[in-house]
Structure 1
């Protein structure tokens, strides 16, 4: 007997999502790619579990995790800090994830609720630039792993790795552009292809990470010193507590971008319960397991080499078995492609499309993203774990206030009461038109909050506060939103 699922009010988009011709023919606000979801979503808890599995396991994430021990923390202290950050991330992701499922629109359209139908281009553009930078870095890391495999299996290719053009050898360019094209191919197949890749890439990286951990532990004679630190003098007392909290905050900042545009994916979920279950299992279980296995690989590599290896690609290059190297490198490359697409490529594609919906489709936005990711030459951006960690602090300085404003506005000001069709309306009387399509009060609030956070993140005298730029930004953004609500007429703000 076939069971037919009965749709509930939680599974479908409200009646006010029904768009008219005036909405769908508006080239400044609408194309089919950024339209609201209709009917029940197809992403289940298992899909989000795999999404988080793909999101966590990456070469950049490993470099970040091991890099925390360069701050003066021991292995177990760094692990505690990362777990604290993941618990906070779980709460933040539930807020954005459930909101995205309820409204059923991608992030840049969701941002119209707070910033106005045209003002939303500000957060969309900022998120797009961040995504482009990380997309380039992750693509470069994956291509570097593939290059090591090629040099190991085909030694004669070494001649193609001697010269350099714009910082990469001919072989490096070939590997980079090959993965660049592969990711573009997946994106051009649409969001269903993205879901399938995530379902495949998530479990694949676990195979590679576990194999790498076992191999490194075996070389270290199964010795693990959880008190190992990369600093000359381990931190103690209050300094240690501050460093653990800094680690938690930087872990949050690592996922600041994907958390902001989480609605791009959860809008396709069946109901809020599926989002919460997917986050609980996927974020916490996968995240904590990733932290443990990264620290294990780091401190066991210290037993072998005298210092923790911050780049797992270097460990892959030490593999003696060509077969094991082949399997591990392919798994890492697939995983990198997976995390890159879900965390960076999809977001930037939607964001660029949102800037001019009538001219830029989701696919065209993806092509713009791919080209810019090469233009920024990410191999020059990625050099050490310390740089990665402090770059994350700078990212959090801008993303934090956006998250705080958008979430406070949705839950505390608008009370989750959204008129979805007005998100696609240029009518001056529509709810999200504000002043010429821009909510100037929130734009000014964002500029003020992000300015404060950028100073904290980048000015040397405020260095102790730099790792906390994301949570400070979220708090400032939320407080500024409530202040705007109190000082602005209710007709301008309330839904």
Structure 2
């Protein structure tokens, strides 16, 4: 095979936006990701969990379950995030290891469509808030579709501008979101008090015994299922996190992810759960847009609804559009830039009209958790248990490298995904943890004792830190975009 033929064969794996991020290019610090989490965790879909939970158990138990679920999923997110921090790799690129250079497209697209789903539903909620604001300011205005289109364009332009602009918006929006959230809670609490109720003791249909335990567990795993999506593709974001070179302590190296995922996420989401519960007590719905319209008016209503808009925006750009764009850029090839992939995600999220399933959102969250938790388990087993964090990064960008497996497909990844996902759906209440554990076990044993004997993996045969670790040994992985041979790995000592 001639050199030009090799170039053409490998080029589809070398999208410019998916090459490893170098240490000097990492721009997000601990407080930056903390602010991003404040924005990501405050959204209308979260409110639905609070409204659902308070119908069976009291709010303190709902909050407790939320904290447990968020801390648990935050731990998973932090663990998987090391892939991006250590090697600078995006989710769809690393997925070539457990699924193959071609096989990566199927689970990656599943995640991208899910992210696009959330973009659509969050944009819809934001559009209804904008519509309500305009209706308050200009009596008679009522065109949510126009608001949707304009709101979607603003978000997509922000996301297309790059991770730095996403972080800047989060830094700006986070304090405003916190202030507006407190105002919303105060407004709803005043209305609840006027009704003679107490949101912390009020329950729509109290359950006891095993039913109460089940209700408690549903809240835990609904929260985990919601963030199972980010648990998979956190490397797409974490590859931009600042981290010290030559740091072998896992916690010090991953401090940015840990602080955001184990502190900002649980606290913020728990407070949103309270608002969702309060909205249900006031108006019989978890949608605070509806509840606020019943309890506020004038400029106060407009200001509170503006908070709703900011939360949907900050969530969408970081947690939904950015990961989906990375996948679409990977699938569609190097000619599709990040900006184009961002708008592809927006179009997909609009065409599937996800707002039509809002009434069964908790069930949808559990199903998503079942499907994607298996992918998280496979990533964990592949990266930590088998490769022990060492990765032959140059071969991830080779069509004929070690990750080609059988025609570009690692069948063990798909077998594990199918078994883990299927068993998880049989235990829907506990879908995330079941899918994660089952898929990880199946993948580990099939790979170690069968598939990796058939398709040897260099970093497992020779587990060299100097050859296969990244930032821990001060390495920036450099992939030549134009020819088949890689530049020498840059190691700064």
TM-score, normalised to structure 1's length? Answer: 0.84
**1:251: which partner in 2?**
223
What pairs with 1:313-328 in structure 2 (closer than 5 Å)? Answer: 313-318=289-294, 320-328=296-304
Q: Match for residue 167 of structure 2? A: 195
Name the CA shift for 1:189/1:225 in 2 (closer, same or farther; >3 Å). closer
Shift of 1:392: 0.6
Matches within 5 A, 1:219-368: 219-221=191-193, 224-231=198-205, 234-271=206-243, 273=251, 276-301=254-279, 305=282, 308-318=284-294, 320-368=296-344
**CA distance in structure 1 between the aligned counterparts of 2:65 and 2:269, rounded to whole angstroms:** 10
- Once the two structures are TM-superposed, the CA of residue 119 in structure 1 deviates from its matched residue by 1.5
Using the alignment, how far apart are the partners of 2:302 and 2:349 within structure 1?
27
The secondary structure found in structure 1 opposite 2:11 is coil
Q: 1:441 to 1:219 in 2, by over 3 A?
A: closer
Q: Deviations over 1:198-227 (max 9, x none)?
A: 222333221221110112222333863423
CA displacement at 1:487 relative to structure 2: 3.0
Q: How big is each residue's C-alpha offset from its partner over 1:283-336, in whole Å with a ceiling of 9 and x where there is no partner? A: 343334334433443554566x4x654111012313545222222222221221
Aligned partners of 2:7, 2:59: CA distance in 1, in Å?
55
Change (3 A) 1:448 1:358: same
3-state secondary structure, aligned to 1:52: helix
Aligned partners of 1:55, 1:87: CA distance in 2, in Å? 15
Q: Is the Cα contact below 8 Å between 1:100 and 1:266 reproduced in 2?
A: yes
Task: Give the Cα separation in 2 of the matches to 1:353 and 1:302.
Answer: 40
Provide closer, same or farther for how the CA distance between residues 80 and 363 of structure 1 changes in structure 2, counting only shifts above 3 A.
same
- Please, which runs of 5 or more residues in structure 1 have no aligned partner? 1-20, 162-170, 457-464
Contiguous gaps of at least 5 residues in structure 2: 244-249, 460-493
CA distance in 2, matches of 1:452, 1:123: 17
Shift of 1:411: 0.2
CA contact (8 A) 2:46 2:273 kept: no
Question: Using the alignment, how far apart are the partners of 2:384 and 2:242 within structure 1?
Answer: 21
The 3-state SS of whatever aligns with 1:435 is: coil
Change in CA separation of 1:33 and 1:84 when aligned onto 2, cut-off 3 Å: same
Query: Which aligned runs of 4 or more in structure 1 are off by greater than 6 angstroms?
Result: 21-25
Once the 2 structures are TM-superposed, how far is the Cα of residue 441 of structure 1 from its aligned partner?
1.9
CA separation of 1:291/1:345 partners in 2, compared to 1, >3 Å: closer, same or farther? closer
| Correspondence for 1:8 | none
Kept in 2, the 8 Å contact 1:298–1:308? The answer is no
Q: Aligned pair in 2 of structure 1 residues 261, 149: CA closer, same or farther (>3 Å)?
A: same
- Structure 1 residue 122 and structure 2 residue 85: aligned? no
Distance 1:221 1:356 in 2: 55
Q: Check the 8 A contact 1:45/1:277 in 2, yes or no.
A: yes
| Partner Cα distance (2:114, 2:384) in 1 | 26
Tell me if structure 2 keeps the 8 A contact 1:401–1:474. yes
Compared CA separation, residues 445 and 329, structure 1 to 2 (3 A)? same
Q: What is the deviation of 1:493? A: 5.2
Task: Measure the CA separation in 1 of the matches of 2:266 and 2:112.
Answer: 28
Q: Kindly provide the CA deviation profile for residues 332-383 of structure 1, in whole angstroms up to 9, marking residues without a partner as x.
A: 212211101111111111111111223322212111111122211233222x
Partner of 1:210: 182
* C-alpha RMSD of matched pairs (Å): 2.3
Length-normalised TM-score, structure 2: 0.85
1:425 maps to which residue?
Answer: 398
* 1:240-270 deviations in Å (ceiling 9; x for gaps): 2232122111110010101111111111112
- Pair 1:487-2:459 in alignment: no
> Equivalent residue for 1:32?
16
Displacement after TM superposition at 1:489 (Å): 4.3
Give the number of equivalent residue pairs: 445
Shift of 1:151: 1.1
The whole-number CA distance in structure 2 between the counterparts of 1:55 and 1:23 is 40
Equivalents in 2 of 1:24, 1:419: separation in Å?
21
**Cα distance change, pair 302–125 in 1 and its aligned pair in 2 (3 A):** closer
CA contact (8 A) 1:224 1:300 kept: no
What secondary structure does 2:312 align onto?
helix
Cα 1:142–1:486 shift into 2, 3 Å: same
Q: Deviations over 1:176-216 (max 9, x none)?
A: 00101101111221221112122223332212211101122
Match of 2:409 among 438, 450, 463: 438
Closer/same/farther in 2, CA of residues 61 and 296 from structure 1, 3 Å limit: closer
